[in-house]
């Protein structure tokens, strides 16, 4: 197979507070380039993707995220200018950085525990290396742990002092309408917390208040102990899910900006009896690991020239849009049905009569009328209502210029009986990004019985149910009969068991 034309890999860590982009080129001596900016539209990143060579862009995502959330994350990255060619789990990115940059080789099968403590959440996972691939054994997530939660705990501590000295200022800070002031105060608390990572104390300034408060590391440790213990519990849950003990792990790796908090490493290390590994720049680890994952894909023959996942990572049409379109279509069909049922005029009446003619009535009066017109004497003697004029409509359709209310009502009841004869169509569900067995299950639940799958998978073995679906034909949201063929195209993405 001819070598890949790509020579550059870009790793993107689109965090809630900070976006980090790492660019790496092939070659052991090639320099790396890292850019970091706050995640906000008014703080765009500079042009970091080189124009002299095609780049393979990898977007890091938490291992616990669902397919829908990963697609939304890829959409956000695309809106920021990064069309991701593949997704890489954050634990895998951390493990690759652990091995390549920190020089800590991870033995095959040895479990590595990764704790990613960011601004808004904490993600813990157990990773094992299988050859050149990384397998996620277990993963846990908590949205109540992170740098912002730490800042709020420290602000609650400082609020006790402000309540005694500046109660009016504290009332403004706690006022939900003072969003700008509160954001400024929390930003000052964050700076003090980060300073405490390297200093025994720090001062906290307050916008609009001509005074500062001193915060010591002992104060911070007392405030943050509950959050540190919550982090320990999350690590224990992930290890329990992976069925491993502390003495079995190869290392316990702390990454993410909030992992710089000294109390986290102290409490985690004391509880598990393992000295955590804390990189010099823990907030850059995920982006650099994603870039390393891109280089690994470039160097692998099976992934070298296959950018097929690139156009599929970005969301096609959100489920909300599909639901809205479906509601609009149903509304239009409902209005059309009402218009047909309430239509009037000679033409409509003739059409109703023509539609009604071949359908038998519920009481069997049409059959007795036909028997009477054909001279069936015995049946006419047993007719319970021989004077009923209803059978005369089929014999003299042209003379019924002004139908009676009964004759007007009968076509409306007959129409649903005839419209039910066509085969009902079913809306094709969106299964892009799902693993193959889950996609087939969703289609089967929707009622489709003719589903086939084609594609590539690991080691060219037989079809694996864990391959990720990258193309579905027909597209999601289209109406098809249950027995019409549905084709699923799957491909190995590097993160599943395909």
Contact at 8 Å (CB) between 34 and 18? no
Q: Residue 443 domain-assigned?
A: yes
Q: Residue 257 domain-assigned?
A: no
Q: Residue 36 domain-assigned?
A: yes
- Domain span at residue 98? 1-102+280-315
Structure tokens at 428: 């094709």
| Rounded distance between C-alpha atoms, residue 392 and residue 397, angstroms | 8
| Nearest residue to 251 via CA among 268, 264, 228, 267 | 268
User: Which residue has better confidence, 358 or 448?
Assistant: 448
- Cα-Cα end-to-end distance for the chain: 21
What pLDDT digit, counting tens, does each position of 116-144 carry? 999 999 999 999 998 888 999 999 999 99
Structure tokens at 188: 């000052």
| Average pLDDT score over the chain | 76
Structure tokens at 294: 């891109």
Of 106-110, 190-194, 252-256, 369-373, least confident by mean pLDDT is 369-373
- Same domain, yes or no, for 1 and 98? yes
| pTM exceeding 0.75 | no
What pLDDT digit, counting tens, does each position of 312-349 carry? 333 334 455 466 667 667 777 776 666 666 554 444 44
Q: For residues 255-271, b (16+ Cβ closer than 10 Å) or e, as one string?
A: bbbbbbbebbbebbeeb
| Rounded distance between C-alpha atoms, residue 189 and residue 75, angstroms | 32
- Same domain, yes or no, for 216 and 285? no
CATH number of the domain residue 11 falls in: 3.30.420.40
CATH number of the domain residue 221 falls in: 3.90.640.10
Q: Residue 259 domain-assigned?
A: no
Q: Residue 242 domain-assigned?
A: no
- Same domain, yes or no, for 73 and 157? no
What's the confidence (pLDDT) of residue 51?
64
| Nearest residue to 289 via CA among 34, 3, 29 | 34
H or E, element range at 240: helix 217-242
Contact at 8 Å (CB) between 493 and 309? yes
| Rounded distance between C-alpha atoms, residue 253 and residue 165, angstroms | 42
Could you give the number of structural domains in the chain?
A: 3
pLDDT band at 452 (very low <50, low <70, confident <90, very high): confident
């Amino acid at each position: 197979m001819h070598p890949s034309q790509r020579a550059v890999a870009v790793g993107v860590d689109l965090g809630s507070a900070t976006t980090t982009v790492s660019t790496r080129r092939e070659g052991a001596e090639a320099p790396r380039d890292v850019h970091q900016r706050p995640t906000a539209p008014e703080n765009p990143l500079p042009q970091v993707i080189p124009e002299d060579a095609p780049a393979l862009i990898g977007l890091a995502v938490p291992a616990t995220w669902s397919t829908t959330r990963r697609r939304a994350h890829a959409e956000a990255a695309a809106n920021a200018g990064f069309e991701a060619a593949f997704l890489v789990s954050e634990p895998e990115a951390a493990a690759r950085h652990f091995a390549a940059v920190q020089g800590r080789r991870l033995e095959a099968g040895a479990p590595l525990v990764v704790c990613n403590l960011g601004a808004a959440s904490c993600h813990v996972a157990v990773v094992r290396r299988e050859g050149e691939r990384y397998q996620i054994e277990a993963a846990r997530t908590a949205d109540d742990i992170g740098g912002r939660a730490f800042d709020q705990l420290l602000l609650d501590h400082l609020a006790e002092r402000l309540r005694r000295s500046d109660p009016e200022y504290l009332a403004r800070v706690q006022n939900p309408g003072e969003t700008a002031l509160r954001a400024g105060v929390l930003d000052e608390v964050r700076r003090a917390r980060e300073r405490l990572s390297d200093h025994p104390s720090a001062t906290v300034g307050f916008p609009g208040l001509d005074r500062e408060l001193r915060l010591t590391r002992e104060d911070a440790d007392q405030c943050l102990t509950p959050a540190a213990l919550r982090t320990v519990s999350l690590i224990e849950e992930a290890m329990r899910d992976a069925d491993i003990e502390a003495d079995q792990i190869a290392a316990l790796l702390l990454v993410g900006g909030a992992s710089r908090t000294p109390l986290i490493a102290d409490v985690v290390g004391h509880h598990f009896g393992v000295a955590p590994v804390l990189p010099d720049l823990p907030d850059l680890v995920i982006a650099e690991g994603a870039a390393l994952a891109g280089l690994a894909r470039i160097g692998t023959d099976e992934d070298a020239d296959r950018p097929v996942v690139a156009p599929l990572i970005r969301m096609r049409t959100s489920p909300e849009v599909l639901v809205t379109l479906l509601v609009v279509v149903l509304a239009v069909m409902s209005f059309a049905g009402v218009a047909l049922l309430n239509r009037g005029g000679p033409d409509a009446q003739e059409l109703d009569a023509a539609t009604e003619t071949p359908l038998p009535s519920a009481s069997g009066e049409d059959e007795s009328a036909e028997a009477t017109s054909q001279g069936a004497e015995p049946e006419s003697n047993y007719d319970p209502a021989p004077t009923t004029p209803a059978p005369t409509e089929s014999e003299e359709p042209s003379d019924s210029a002004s139908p009676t209310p009964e004759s007007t009502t009968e076509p409306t009841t007959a129409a649903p009986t005839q419209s039910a004869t066509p085969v009902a169509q079913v809306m094709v569900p969106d299964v892009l990004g799902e693993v193959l067995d889950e996609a087939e299950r969703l289609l089967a639940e929707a009622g489709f019985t003719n589903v086939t799958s084609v594609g590539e998978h690991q080691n060219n073995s037989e079809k694996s149910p864990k391959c990720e679906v990258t193309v579905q034909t027909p597209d999601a949201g289209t109406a098809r009969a249950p027995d019409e063929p549905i084709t699923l195209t799957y491909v190995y993405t590097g993160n599943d068991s395909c």
